Structure 1
Amino acid sequence: MDPHSSSSSSSSSLLLCFFLFLLAAPSYSLPLSVSIPLSLSPPSINNNPSAKTTRSGHYPYQKLAFLVSQSLSRAHHLKNHRNNDVTSLSSHSYGGYSISLSFGSPPQTIQFVMDTGSDLSWFPCTKRYVCRNCTFPGGDKSSLTNPPFYPKLSSSSKVLGCQNPKCGWLHHRNVTHCADCDSDSSNCTQICSPYMIFYGSGTTGGFGLLETLDLPGNRLFPNFLVGCSVFSSRQPAGIAGFGRGKASLPSQLGLDRFSYCLLSRKYDESSQTSPLQLESGLDSGGKTAGVSYTRFAKNPIVPGKEALSVYYYLPIRKITVGGSTVKIPDEYLLTGENGDGGSIVDSGSTFTYMTNPVFKLVASAFENQVKKYSKAEYVESAVGLRPCFNVSGEKEISLPEMRLHFKGGSEMVLPLENYYVLAGNSEAVCFAMVTDSELESPSRDGGPAIILGSFQMQNFYVEYDLRNDRFGFMKQKCK
């Protein structure tokens, strides 16, 4: 059965049950400066490896293999950039970072996974909401599972109409007229068609709402476009879209800048949080002290691949391992006219993805420089990461340094715990980046060549300076 057509039909039937809602509440004007707690979402894994204290934590094989699978599914989703009239981009929540946002009048607070790789924000919605297969390996339920949003309990909820320009934001296309109304009709009551969002490992579907977003400090933003999902599969939490699209939270709030610091993975499932800062109305474009900057690379404009316009492209120009340059061809580091190649940063991905030709060069650089430890091929087969090295009995682990070099001269020096993980009972250490099998279809080799994931960004202050079109970063302990 085609999930696209059946889900659209069921969503449309559900929408007929809704009545018209009252006008939205009054708003407060910018400038805006809001700090929102940012916390880790599941799965629960303790991990805090470093060159000196790598025995303090490790990944069980099952959990590690699961994160590898989810990271690859996410990469395929971002690279395949699927578009159609009822599809928007988003991400899976597993292993991500979450925030709490309040919608409605009176406000209802929902947890969302923060995602810089998509634009639409959506939440589980209505009493009919169903989420199938929304558990983790071993049957653990997501800690992000919370009651759905109830539009009928909010005086500011309005179903999105098909003539509203925001209907085009929802579907990444211009809406010129409604299918069931005359082209010159000015009072068409037809709703905007339902959306279906596809992931590498799940789906969600629903309809667009215009609702009041209630930020801390009594900052109210009426008529905020948000997705009301009535069903999901393998998607146990809503998404807060922080990408470049018109529907994204930064775009709708008119932010000049947002920033965050990703907690170490050792705080999974704890009460520990770090701030997500939202800012607008800035007086100047000054730099944050201690932060290194690089300008965002230009997004490719390719007909039929409009999803690429949502991503944050970074101009990675070189990767070094142990001080030696990995000789990566420009066709992978630069974005081509067809949208293939280049690098993006994505908080919705766990492990960094590299297309196979790039990954092989980087992995080989480590293998050629690591002579102290033997290969642990049995661990590679069990978890899906490579190379893995046998470190059983070692009190301290020493591996070559890895740096990302950006256009303009800034460099990101990755701490060891950001690109290697202990596997099993600490008998092996594995390179914590992923790639497709060499047997994967060549059609999956398009899109971004490098997707910088959240695991590699833990304990970094990260800044998206939208006003000055630049990306900033600084290593620091996040708390």
Structure 2
Amino acid sequence: MLRALPLLSPTATTMFTVSLRSLSLLLLIATAATEYLKLPLLHKTHHTPSTTPLYLSHLHNLKSPITSGASSGSGQYFVSLHLGSPPQHLLLVADTGSDLIWVACSACRDCSLRSPGSAFLTRHSASFSPHHCFHSTCQRLVPHPRHNPCNHTLLHSPCRYEYEYSDGSITEGFFSKELITLNSSSGKQILLKDFHFGCGFHIAGPSLTGGSFNGAHGVLGLGRGPISFSSQLGRRFGNKFSYCLMDYTVSPPPTSFLVIGDHQNDDVSTSPKMSFTPLLLNPQSPTFYYIGIKSVYVDDVKLRINPAVWLIDEMGNGGTVIDSGTTLTLFEESAYRKILTAFKRRVKPPQRNYFIETSDQVKCLAIQPVNPGSGSVIGNLMQQGFLFEFDRDKSRLGFTRHSCALP
């Protein structure tokens, strides 16, 4: 689970529905009534970049592939980018549940990423530069570091970071800047200068070293904080991004895309078929994209779940997060038991948004319980087949089955 540690009243409703052939789970969620960068979410396929680079000033959007990690046993989706001069190819987990962008670096110790090409080689890049600890960009890490990033005994002390995830996994290293190269949907190279990221020299914990991380070189944080990928590029592209996660079981895999910027060129954000729900803000966990759930239906039958289960309390506990970096969907225990019971009564054939194959002829419900107050998470399996548009300026989440291939 890739969610960073934390350092509202809806007025109307619409239905976020996942339709099944014989079964449906429906979440009733609170609603409010140019150009872009499109990055493919590749299926672990290396794309040869165009030889003609374009700089950001020539574009108004970015669009890049997203990769399913299913072929390596991972439940994550990866974004492909090229870092450094000359560029080194890397796959990063697309994670809306954290802010920091980081890669395993050549100085990494105690890391599981030891295969050739599994780390960014800083010594081979002419454009790599760690931030000084007193640089204003280093201060954006606060309150994430658990220690002072500056060593006052050193004249040229680099900006140190320690970033922790909800399961206790951590990455430590130097907060740095680089040149990144992204492949647009037209095959052109887009060069971005002064890209801020973490160069990890210590990586530990189940989320970052276990099977779910297989094939990844790091994490592309897409959260709401100032150091995230969506924040660094958002100011240039209207503070909006979107993605559609394709079915990970299909072979050959369909291409998914991460789009940074306005999706109007695809006639999506202006489509009447897109529904919107407010993005709620939790001051205690400002990284996350919270939505409000009103009710849960299984096969058009409303479940009797206490509405308080879905609320963010005054201490910042609870609520429901949309998280592309978590595979399974997590519901608080009381809600989970009601949903599980309803599924047991009605389920016939297994379905891709709700079930995962753990072994031959064995399917498991891809929903897990969490303790009260831990909050709920809509994971990437349940997100498959929907186009999600995160509009940060309007503080709303758009979603639609249209313009996204059905799983």
Q: Secondary structure at the match of 2:352?
A: helix
Contact 2:84 2:179 in 1 (8 A): yes
> By how many angstroms is 1:340 displaced?
1.4
1:207 equivalent in alignment to 2:174: yes
Provide the rounded CA distance (Å) in 2 between the counterparts of 1:103 and 1:470. Answer: 31
Provide the rounded CA distance (Å) in 1 between the counterparts of 2:258 and 2:406. Answer: 11
> By how many angstroms is 1:214 displaced?
2.3
User: Where does residue 300 of structure 1 map in the other structure?
Assistant: 282
Q: Report 1:394-405 matches (<5 A).
A: 397=348
Q: What is the CA deviation profile of residues 236-274 of structure 1, one whole-angstrom value per residue up to 9, with x for unaligned ones?
A: 521011111111001001243222211212137x56422
1:265 equivalent in alignment to 2:286: no
Q: Secondary structure at the match of 1:225?
A: strand
Amino acid at match of 1:225: H
> By how many angstroms is 1:227 displaced?
0.7
Q: What is the CA deviation profile of residues 199-230 of structure 1, one whole-angstrom value per residue up to 9, with x for unaligned ones?
A: 62743321111112223344333222101012
Provide the rounded CA distance (Å) in 2 between the counterparts of 1:169 and 1:445. Answer: 32
User: Where does residue 167 of structure 1 map in the other structure?
Assistant: 138
Q: Secondary structure at the match of 1:266?
A: coil
1:434 equivalent in alignment to 2:368: yes
Q: Report 1:124-139 matches (<5 A).
A: 124-126=104-106, 128-130=107-109, 132-133=111-112
Q: Secondary structure at the match of 2:316?
A: coil
Q: 1:199 to 1:318 in 2, by over 3 A?
A: closer
Residue segments in structure 1 that go unaligned for 5+ positions in a row: 1-25, 46-93, 136-140, 303-307, 371-388, 390-396, 400-415, 437-443
Provide the rounded CA distance (Å) in 1 between the counterparts of 2:253 and 2:83. Answer: 23
Contact 1:196 1:206 in 2 (8 A): no
> By how many angstroms is 1:231 displaced?
3.1
Provide the rounded CA distance (Å) in 2 between the counterparts of 1:424 and 1:162. Answer: 49
How many residue pairs end up in the alignment?
335
Q: 1:421 to 1:104 in 2, by over 3 A?
A: closer
User: Where does residue 50 of structure 1 map in the other structure?
Assistant: none
Q: 1:230 to 1:288 in 2, by over 3 A?
A: same
User: Where does residue 51 of structure 2 map in the other structure?
Assistant: none
Q: 1:263 to 1:131 in 2, by over 3 A?
A: farther
TM-score using structure 2 length: 0.72
Bigger radius of gyration: 1
Contact 1:352 1:432 in 2 (8 A): yes
Contact 2:352 2:381 in 1 (8 A): no
Provide the rounded CA distance (Å) in 2 between the counterparts of 1:478 and 1:241. Answer: 26
Amino acid at match of 2:197: V
Provide the rounded CA distance (Å) in 1 between the counterparts of 2:359 and 2:177. Answer: 47
Q: 1:478 to 1:206 in 2, by over 3 A?
A: farther
Contact 1:106 1:155 in 2 (8 A): yes
User: Where does residue 101 of structure 2 map in the other structure?
Assistant: 121
Choose which of 187, 192, 213 in structure 2 pairs with 1:221: 192
Q: What is the CA deviation profile of residues 114-172 of structure 1, one whole-angstrom value per residue up to 9, with x for unaligned ones?
A: 1110111111112x33464569xxxxx9xxx7342122222222111111122122343
Amino acid at match of 2:275: Y
Amino acid at match of 1:465: D
Q: Secondary structure at the match of 1:155?
A: coil
Provide the rounded CA distance (Å) in 2 between the counterparts of 1:188 and 1:129. Answer: 24
> By how many angstroms is 1:432 displaced?
2.1
Q: 1:95 to 1:178 in 2, by over 3 A?
A: closer
Choose which of 70, 79, 89 in structure 2 pairs with 1:99: 79
Q: 1:275 to 1:297 in 2, by over 3 A?
A: closer
Q: Report 1:296-445 matches (<5 A).
A: 296-302=278-284, 308-367=285-344, 369-370=345-346, 397=348, 416-421=351-356, 424-426=359-361, 429-436=363-370, 445=372
Q: Which has the higher strand share?
A: 2
Contact 1:300 1:339 in 2 (8 A): yes
> By how many angstroms is 1:287 displaced?
2.9
User: Where does residue 55 of structure 1 map in the other structure?
Assistant: none
Q: Which has the higher helix share?
A: 1
> By how many angstroms is 1:423 displaced?
5.7
> By how many angstroms is 1:194 displaced?
3.5
Contact 1:121 1:227 in 2 (8 A): yes
Residue segments in structure 2 that go unaligned for 5+ positions in a row: 1-53
> By how many angstroms is 1:101 displaced?
1.0
Q: 1:181 to 1:117 in 2, by over 3 A?
A: same
Amino acid at match of 1:343: T
1:197 equivalent in alignment to 2:179: no
Contact 1:294 1:472 in 2 (8 A): yes
Q: 1:162 to 1:130 in 2, by over 3 A?
A: closer
CA root-mean-square deviation: 3.4
Q: 1:201 to 1:188 in 2, by over 3 A?
A: closer
Choose which of 384, 392, 400 in structure 2 pairs with 1:474: 400
User: Where does residue 34 of structure 1 map in the other structure?
Assistant: 62
